[in-house]
Chain A
Amino acid sequence: MEMDITLTVNGERIAERVEARQSLVDFVRDDLGLTGSHIGCEHGVCGACTMRVDGEIVRGCLMLAVQCDGSVVETIEGLSDSGELADLQAAFEQRNALQCGYCTPGMLTAAQELLKAGTVPSREEIREHISGNYCRCTGYHAIVDAIESVAKARMGAGT
């Protein structure tokens, strides 16, 4: 079964005909060519497909494209081009908080949600928040360091 959907992706108005069974992450990757959202487990555990729908982060593999009819979708490409993640990306680069980089778009998107709360979270709170995002490479220590440094910098507390 196919359906017509209209939505905004990274600020761009999109009208497409999609299969009802198609997941959101397959839609943005295969139909829109936005390959920065990655597929890791397709059952909502690893967080590699984390993206933003109507301001909230979601698992792109647990949502259907047709559920996003009328929604505003933001992927790593849009969040990067707008500069919203620039300080976080700089911190990840300086701290080598990524290795293979496959989990990183999802990790950054999840971290940004925590940082938007406007407080400086503890290391434990950071660890708790990103525990829906699986990273096999880093062991997480560097990721926690990078997020913590950005939280402090944004609050003017310095790093």
Chain B
Amino acid sequence: MKITADTPSALTALDRPNSYIGRAVPRPNLQRLMQGRGQYVSDVTLPRMTHVAFLRSPHAHARIVSINTEAAKKSPGVVAVVTGAELAKVMTPWVGVLTHLKGIKSAPQYPIAVDRACWQGEAVCAVVARTRAQAEDACELIDIVYEELPAVTDPETALDPATPVIHEALDDNLCFERKLDVGDVDKAFANSDAVVEATFVCGRHTGVCTEGRAIIADWNASEQRMTVYQATQAPHMMQDLFAKHLDIEAGQVRVLTKDVGGSFGIKVHTYADEMATVALSKLLKRPVKFVADRIESFVTDIHARDHRIKGKIGVTKDGVITAFEIDDLTGIGPYSVYPRTSGIEANQVVNLTGGPYNCPNYRAQARVVFQNKNVMCQYRAVGHPIAVAVTEGLVELAAAKIGMDPLEIRRRNLFADDSYPAQTASGLKLELLSHHAALAQLDTMINYAGLRTEQKALREKGIYRGIGFASFIEVTNPSAAFYGVGGARITSQDGATVKLDAQGAITIHSGVTEQGQGAEAVLAQCVASSFGVSMDRVRVVTGDTDNTPYGGGTWASRAAGIGGEAAWQAGKALRGNVLAVAGAMLQAKPDELDIRDGLVVDKVTGAERLTLAELARVAYFRPDTLPPGFQAELMATRHYVPRAWPFAFTNGIQASYLEVDTDTGFVKLLRHWCVEDCGTIINPQLVNEQIRGGVVQGIGAVLFEQCLYDERGQMLNGNMADYLVPMAVEMPDIDCGHVVSPTADSELGAKGAGEAGTAGAPACIMNAINDALRPLGATPLTDMPFTPGKILKALGKV
């Protein structure tokens, strides 16, 4: 850590009594949530508020021949029935492309389908009524005549000449393609002692946030202002987009985001039905509320991870990895999602595959195709679980083929801890990672040798346990390289404004947002520490575009590393301002004073000189007593954006210990471990809980979760009884360990920790299952999720 005091001090910023960096302090806002006093958008009611329900296409692909709304308009409570064509006069369509994803293309998407529905669940008509129930009643009275069109559902044939083109203007069903060829891959494979090939499948799954997407739009025609209460991760981004597509100024839009019931990347995108809700409010000049119910969530919340990857690895008999090759194919629905595009996940798979390993030969192809299913886009750990599954799956299959221990093959290929800065074959720039230190810690933590002994002994009793690993790298703290350079108005910088109130307490306004990760706690910790007060004197304000500095919000593990650094710097700046006031009041030099635990003290002796309350009283109510010409500035703003590195990569390794019931195919997870390196740890408890929650989300992907579609594009399991998510009883305890390699790009040195668990868990559990079944001669399992049926099939029992 290279944290320095702003002025020479007897105590550094980290050992004042109010220093909270590295401490597991509780989050300040939890009692509200626990006592049922949270304010989620679904809880908000406004005067004259109406509710919208959407009639959604039952077909994956259909021309809308006619819409008869007469009966619906007469239904009790109905305020308006609005079609896509009518709403297109209020809001302009959008196209989800970015210039740095060369060649990416998509078609204009409207708030409500105009003429044609392109997936089952796309909204085709809106009913606004006094209650949601009345709006849904009226939806049943709308008569729509459809002409069903052929549905493109299988990515494998989406580019065939015989397959219909979904958007004629685009000429084909290819959204985006990327190819990469580094080193001499063919020569490397030819010189390998063993080459392993496998096809990996990641099941299409979705976020299943406990709270559905929710929005209230309130167009006040008398002020010409749109106030939007939205469960979003990125209020400023949405402000910009609402303004753009309503053709009004951004300053005419205020986005308010209070409590959000889960996000995980689901709530950082533009959704047609949410855009429609905003447009309907403009049209009707009154508040309109939309809350996605569970069925709507399954067919309209972005899906993710629907990838088929053919992978190939070469190794020498000494376990040196000679080359990686992948061919990734993914179907992303009928539109590239706006504004982040649906090309990023495949792009990340290309970037991240092979990422932990010092291997110079790499060839990759990724194709992203359109299809008539719900849209796919970025979800927690974008691309990582896929790339890690392919990489780590291949590494363990190769280790098995040459008879090498899976940890040993990693030791021989992971980037050495003293080799940084380094660059991956795909071109990722790595500042400082710690793969070997993490692996060594994990080896000890799990008592690897002991586990292997136990595994062997149990096999003799017919009990099949497996041990699997996954090393990974993780994208955090994205700079403008992620979206900004591609033309998206998605900011990578963030700001914090800190002010001293008239009683000497602190308020911080930040551009990052809180969906449960603990961002508000981290902001309070940073400001309390750098300014010099206890955390209970800090109040945090987020999620209000009228009252916070312009910022990107919370996604891609940026809140602590970027928002936290801005808060840290703002606290320091205010501290300097306050000491200037104290110096004026005390006729002392500011650099001979310090702020500790809410008091202005003598820097050397620590003796109290002034309370902050007294300082604030004088500055606000008796400024006449301050020296002539002196102006107290009791509010300070600082911004921060990573500049030295495009991303602050983190690293880690996970291990799984599990038991497979070879009669039923059920997997029992016994224990899970993760050692990761997110740089400076601001709050160890919050980091660990990000890891644990992330691991369990990854477990869902590898064992349970899949959006099942039939060949006509009908989702078959769009409810929580049929789409399985991890519940407590199936989940293991999860142990966390840490290595600390701070980024030198910021003073705090914090990187992100939100993706690590989800990135590594699927590969790790896949490897453990295959390790368990290897002595039985089972076909290696690479087709997620690993349901009991698939496991029995691999064992040749069904």
Contacts and interface: CB of A to CB of B under 8 A. Distances in A.
A100 B725 CA distance: 17
B35 A143 contact: no
Contacts of A134: 208, 210, 720, 725, 727
B697 interface: yes
Interface string A21-65: 110000001000011111111110110100000000000000000
A128 B40 contact: no
Nearest to B514: A100
Given A93-B31, A98-B30, A45 B36 contact: no
A137 interface: yes
A101 to B, nearest CB: 3
A105 B34 contact: yes
Contact of B692 (A40, A43, A128, A138): A138
A128 to B, nearest CB: 5
A99 B259 CA distance: 11
A115 interface: no
A149 interface: no
Interface string A114-138: 0000000001101110111111111
Contact of A92 (B34, B36, B40): B34
Contact of B208 (A94, A104, A128, A136): A136
Contacts of B696: 138-140
Contact of A38 (B210, B293, B697): B210
Interface residues of A, number: 56
Contacts of B259: 100-102
Of A46, A75, A101, A139, the most chain B CB neighbours within 10 A belong to A139
A101 B38 contact: yes
A84 B757 CA distance: 35
A100 B294 contact: no
B264 interface: yes
B26 A100 contact: no
A100 B231 CA distance: 12
B729 A102 contact: no
Contacts of B692: 138-139, 141-142
A40 B294 contact: yes
Contacts of A159: none
A40 B261 CA distance: 9
B36 A37 contact: yes
Contacts of A137: 262, 516, 693
A102 B689 contact: no
A73 interface: no
Contacts of B37: 36, 77
Given A99-B518, A131-B728, A136 B36 contact: no
Given A36-B35, A98-B516, A138 B211 contact: no
B223 interface: no
Chain B facing A: main interface SS: loop
Nearest to A34: B36
A123 B733 contact: yes
A102 B728 contact: no
A9 interface: no
Contacts of A85: 34
A38 B40 contact: yes
A93 B725 contact: no
A67 interface: no
B30 A93 contact: yes
A138 B31 CA distance: 17
Contacts of B42: 35, 38-39
A110 B606 CA distance: 50
A139 B209 CA distance: 13
Of B36, B207, B725, B734, the most chain A CB neighbours within 10 A belong to B36
B689 to A, nearest CB: 5
A68 B184 CA distance: 73
Contact of B729 (A40, A131, A143): A131
A46 B297 CA distance: 14
B517 interface: yes
B728 A143 contact: yes
B261 to A, nearest CB: 3
A21 to B, nearest CB: 8
A144 interface: yes
Interface string A71-107: 0000111001000010001001110101111111100
Q: How large is the interface on B (under 10, 10 to 19, 20 to 34, 35 or more residues)?
A: 35 or more
A92 B31 CA distance: 9
A151 interface: no
A150 interface: no
A108 interface: yes
A40 B210 contact: yes
A81 B615 CA distance: 38
A108 B261 CA distance: 16
Nearest to B690: A99
A32 B88 CA distance: 38
B721 A43 contact: yes
A96 B37 CA distance: 17
B778 to A, nearest CB: 28
A136 B35 contact: no
B731 to A, nearest CB: 5
Nearest to A35: B43
Of B31, B210, B264, the most chain A CB neighbours within 10 A belong to B210
B130 to A, nearest CB: 12
B157 to A, nearest CB: 34
Interface string B34-68: 11111110110000000000000000000000000
A142 B721 contact: no
A101 B30 contact: yes
Given A99-B693, A101-B516, A137-B516, A38 B727 contact: no
Contacts of A98: 30, 33-34, 516
B727 A108 contact: no
Given A102-B211, A142-B689, A76 B734 contact: no
A142 B516 CA distance: 14
Contacts of A96: 26-27, 30, 518, 685-686, 689
A43 B294 CA distance: 9
B30 A46 contact: no
A34 B35 CA distance: 11
B782 interface: no
A143 B685 CA distance: 13
Contacts of B515: 99-100
Contacts of B559: none
B719 interface: yes
A134 B720 CA distance: 10
Given A98-B516, A135-B210, A144 B261 contact: no
A80 B697 contact: no
B719 A43 contact: yes
A28 B396 CA distance: 54
Contacts of B133: 19, 21-22
A127 B36 contact: no
A144 B732 CA distance: 11
A70 to B, nearest CB: 24
A39 B35 CA distance: 16
Contacts of A35: 36, 39-40, 42-43
Contacts of A75: 36
B695 interface: yes
Contacts of B689: 96, 99, 138-139, 142
Contacts of B129: none
Given A75-B36, A101-B34, A138-B692, 18 more contacts: A43-B294, A43-B721, A76-B36, A85-B34, A93-B26, A96-B26, A96-B685, A99-B262, A99-B518, A99-B689, A100-B515, A101-B261, A102-B40, A102-B262, A134-B720, A136-B209, A139-B689, A144-B728
22 contacts: A35-B39, A36-B35, A41-B294, A41-B720, A43-B719, A46-B720, A80-B36, A96-B30, A96-B686, A98-B34, A98-B516, A99-B515, A100-B209, A102-B259, A104-B33, A108-B34, A137-B262, A138-B693, A139-B693, A140-B696, A140-B728, A144-B733
List 9 A-B pairs, minimum CB-CB distance, nearest first.
A36-B36, A101-B33, A99-B516, A102-B261, A100-B516, A139-B696, A76-B36, A35-B43, A80-B35
